[in-house]
Amino acid sequence: MEIWEQISRQRVKHIVDSYQLDGEDDEYFYEYLEDLLQAYAPPQIELALVETLVESWRNVPLLRGVVFLERSHEILKSWETKIFAPKISPTHFQLITGLDATPIFGADKTQHPKQVSSLAFPT
């Protein structure tokens, strides 16, 4: 595994750990997360996790575990079939995660989510 892949996986793990998203489904959660990491680029997963997190803040208790990943996976699948329009800004992403938003949104962090024409997802 190359260094950029390790860093990308570590960023995803940071989001999961910061909000204790694994819940009580540890084994199944991490198997599912690994499947997602095999199927999607880590920056896409990061954004889907954060969008799911923001969406789930409206509900009590906070979604966690496999249910959380299932919702994130739904978001990832929806991006395959429609025009991608992130619901959060690069600044919000950075404030929520504590991570640099550049790997997700590219170098221009001043763009509003609706103005993002292409993301910095590696191909």
Parent domain of 110: 3-115
The overall pTM is greater than 0.85 = no
Residue 122 domain flag: no
Q: Is residue 69 part of a domain?
A: yes
pLDDT at 85: 80
Whether the predicted pLDDT of 81 surpasses 80: yes
Number of structural domains in the chain: 1
pLDDT of 117 > 60? The answer is no
Looking at residue 110, its pLDDT comes to 52
Helices (H), the chain: 3-18, 26-39, 42-56, 65-81, 90-97, 102-105
- The answer to whether residue 31 sits within a structural domain is yes
